Structures are given as structure tokens and as C-alpha cells.
Chain A
Amino acid sequence: MCPFNSDIHGVGDIRMRFIRSVSDVFGYSPFEDLRKHAELIAKAVGLLERQFEAYRKNEMDEVEKLRDEIDDLEHQADLIKEEIRGRVTSSLLLSVDRHDLLHFLEVQDGIINYCEHVGHMLTFKRIKAPEEIMDEFSVLLSKLMETINEYEELVDHMSRLIASSFSKREIERALDHVKRVETYEHECDLIQIGLLNMLFNSNMDPVDIYLAVLWVVHLGEIANYTARSADRFRIMILGRR
């Protein structure tokens, strides 16, 4: 085997062997995979919302089924993450800084890890809580969904940034998405504080309170990681060469 023979042309066909190609100059572009990774995360948050509604209706089989589905999404996201990390080598000239990109990926991956945690926590125990507390949880989850949808739009915007070669207009549009994600995250914070207040002043069983507080904290981490990831996105697009 020749050391230069990088088998990327689909050379299974013998005729294809007799082709010289300039296409090797185009390197692996990680942005489509990053978008897919973000898409899986948005899906996971959607499942989490459904899982909580199933929990409220006491459909525990459904709750466990959705936990497994979220686990599966997390696993798929890990595979994409590894793919990106393995292929973004230093010999690539990317349109953003490589370290910024990998750091962004790391934080984005944190979002789905917390989705997985919450997914499991909902299967531990049936808690007895007043309806208004459960309603507030539903409010928090729908706010999380809004946050993650806005976040997904931000990541989708990457294709427009690349197409326009990071024109000022597209950068401003992307930054607007970041600001909106941050606003939603702040709103999540306020809902969390209200929820904690309600929980600690309730007459619930202490173990139930403890588990519910864990939910609040971990749901909060989903919002935090989403905002941090949006921030890393901003750093990445503003820190271009």
C-alpha cells in the first residue's frame, strides 16, 4: 500500500483508481455535525417535557420508555461528539478557531447530559406534591423548551454565517439569538427560584422535597448549559481569524 493512498475517493471501483483529484483540498467540515448534535439535544428536551407530563398522569411505563429514548439520544450525541473530535485535526484550516469550536462542542454536549440525568430522576419515585407545584414544573419545562428552540435556531444560523462568510449582518442576527437565549435562561432562573420557595414552604414529605429540589437544580443546569453554550458560540464566531 502506498502511504499517500488516503482511501476517500471510493476507490472500490478500479476505474476510480485512475483519477487524480483536487478535491482533497476540501477538509472535513464539522458544522453539519454540530447542527445534528444540537438537533438531538432539542429532541431530548422535547422528550423530557413529554416524560414529565406522563409522570403527572401516573403513566410510569411511558416515563420509563421515554427515559430510555433520552438515553439513546444522549448516546447518539456522544457518537457525533467523538466523530467531530476525531476529525477536527490541526491540519484543517477552519473558518473558526479550532479550540473555540471544541470548547463549544464540550459545553453543548453538557446540555444533553443533564437531560439524561433528569430523565432518570423522574423514574426513581412517585412523589406527592400539590398541583400548583406540578403546574410550576410544567411551566419551567415549557420555558426550557422555548430556550432550547431558540438555541437550535442559533446553531442553525451557522450555515448562513458560513454562506455570507461571516458578514456583519449575519453576525448581528446570530448575536440576537444569543441574547434571546440568555433572556429565556434568566426567565428559567426566576421560575426555579419560585419553585424552590414553594417546595421548601410546602408540607410535602422531606424525601419528596429532596427529589423535587434535585429536579429543579438539574433542570436549571439544562438552561445554564444552554446559555453557556450560546455564549461559547458567540465567542467562537467573534474570535474568528
Chain B
Amino acid sequence: MDILLITTIIAGLYMAWNIGANDAANSMATSYGSRALTMKQVIVVGVLLEFFGAFLFGQRVTHTIAKGIVPIDIIDPHLVVVGALSALISAGFWITVATYYHLPISTSHSIVAAMLGFGLAIASRGEIGLDQIGWNVMTKIFLSWILSPIFGAALSFLTFKIIRFILFERFDVVSVEKVFRYLQIFTACYVAFAHGSNDVANATGPIAAALGYMGRETPIWVLFLGALGISIGFATWGHKVIVTVGERITELTFTRGFSAEFSTATTVLLASYLGMPISTTHTLVGSVIGVGLAGGLSSVNLKIIQRIVVSWLLTVPVACALSIAIYTVLVIFV
């Protein structure tokens, strides 16, 4: 293996680590915040289920990111490696900077925009036509970014309304919450599995492309590597994120946590099935707002919607432009 490919894999591993450390931890923090699980249990569930989700169900989204946006089949494999590396470096850099400023950005948005940047860069050099970029796929992805938080919100709204009308009106709230403590263990696993299945592609998609991925199946060891990266990120850094986030969301009782997690996981898993790389975090925020709209939370900060939209609008051009710049420089020297 040449040095370029190894660098790409390392960049992909950083991406996977970051996803595990931040995004996976965020989606699991609800279980910790509601005290359905202890920290040890969260770590075990997170590491295992993220791994299985990524390893067993990560190929469809990986396929989209590897081949859906840039037509790698018709490009010189060497240029594909350079492009995949540029995409990973720019996405990784942007994610790190944005995290420092607490922007609620999405790793999925970053890598998709970065892959698009690679496509645009290569088209600008005349290697492919502009129309050969997967605009169809891009349109679908954009749509899925808008729809996924809304879908999550609608689903959690319904879920909580049902709990409220069927259970809260008939039984004592405390006993209902007790039952949902156990159900929330199930949804915690569900979220971890779904998250792994969708977000692993942010790391494995570019690696698969760089490996000259021609067939329909993602090489199994690439998924294994991505899954491992996420699990390691979760185990090494995740607990810090979980404590920070979990402390602030104690208001999420078991029924609320269940509603938000169930809806998030269902939406994300559906997106994985459709091969759409969406943001788990944005879907989770949408689902929490859904619970709030259903009357389940005493206070929801709607300003977050504005911040998410701004981060979204910032991520796409920044990650895209960075990727174009890095590709243009790399292709000269490498």
C-alpha cells in the first residue's frame, strides 16, 4: 500500500474517532441524562451496538458517499485517492474547528459537501463533465437533510402523545416512568445501532472510494475499520461528552427519553436503509422538539433551530471549498 492510501485510512480513522467521540456520545447521552443507564452501561451498549450497526448495516450509506456523488468508476484511481483524502482532511478540519466554536454542525453534511468539492474540483480540471456529478443523489441527500429532523419531530410528537393519552391519563405517572426505564434501555441500543449504521459511512465512504471500490459491496474490513474507529472514539472521549450533555438534560424523563430516542433511531435507520447520509444529531434535536410540542417538556429552546440552519448553510460551502482547495494543491504535489 502506498503512503497516500495509508494517509487516507488514517484520516478516515480520525473521522470515525470523532464521530464516536461526539455524535455517538450525544445520541447516547439521553439515556445517561435520564438515568436509565449508568456510565459503564452506556459505554458497553455504545461500543457494542455502534460497532454492530456500522459493521452489519453500514454498507448502503457508504456506497452513496463513495460512489453516489463522484463517478469514481470513470476517474483515474490515483486521482480518486487524492480526492478522498482531500475530502477527509477538509471535513475533519472543519468538524474540529466548528466543534471548538460549539456549532451544532453535522459530520455527515461535512463529508458530503467535501465529496462534492472533490467532484467539482475534478470537473473543473476537465476530468469529468459537470453533469457527471451525481446531482440526482445530491438532491435526494439535501432533501433527506431537511426531512429527517421534521420526520423525527413528527414521530416523537406522535409517540409522546400516545404515551400521554393512553398511559398518563390512566395510570400513575411514577409507575409509567418506571416501566419506561426498561424500555429506554432498548431504545438506547436502538439509537446506537442506527447511528453506527449511518454515520460510519462518513469515514468508510471515502476510504472505500480510495481503495478503488468498484463492486456493489463495501469491503468488509473497511466497515470493520470504521466500526472500530467509532467504538474507540466512544470509549476514549465519549464519556466526557456524555457527562457534559447528560448533566444538562436531566429533564428528559424515561418516557420523554424513550420517545426522542425511538423516533431518532427509527428515522436514522430508515435513512440508512435508503442509503441517505443524514445527521443523527439534527434528527435527535428534531425529536426532542417533537416531545416539547407534544407537551412533554417544560421548556424548549427554539433558537437551536436557527443555529442548526446557520451551521448547515455554513458547512456546505466551507467544507466544499476547503476540499476543492486541498485537492487542487495535493494534485500538483502528489
**Which residues of A are in contact with B by a Cβ distance under 8 Å?**
2, 4-6, 9-11, 15-31, 91-95, 160, 162-170, 240-241
Contact = CB atoms under 8 A, between A and B. Distances in A.
B168 A167 contact: yes
A25 B299 contact: no
Given A4-B103, A28-B301, 20 more contacts: A4-B102, A9-B244, A11-B102, A16-B244, A17-B99, A18-B100, A19-B240, A20-B22, A21-B26, A21-B241, A21-B244, A24-B301, A24-B304, A25-B285, A25-B300, A26-B249, A27-B302, A31-B298, A93-B289, A165-B295
Given A2-B101, A16-B244, A19-B22, A25 B289 contact: yes
B310 A20 contact: no
Contacts of B301: 24-28, 91-93
Contacts of B103: 2, 4, 20
A16 B240 contact: yes
B96 interface: yes
Interface in B10-49: 22-23, 26, 29
Contacts of B140: none
B178 interface: no
A23 B245 contact: yes
Contacts of A164: 168, 173
A6 B310 CA distance: 15
A20 B307 contact: no
A175 to B, nearest CB: 16
Contacts of B196: none
A145 to B, nearest CB: 30
B307 A28 contact: no
By DSSP majority rule, is chain B's interface helix, strand, loop, or mixed?
Answer: helix
B281 interface: yes
Which of A17, A26, A92 gathers most chain B CB within 10 Å?
Answer: A26
B297 interface: yes
A240 B303 CA distance: 21
B173 A160 contact: yes
B222 interface: no
A226 to B, nearest CB: 24
A189 B26 CA distance: 56
A22 B284 contact: yes
A168 B99 contact: no
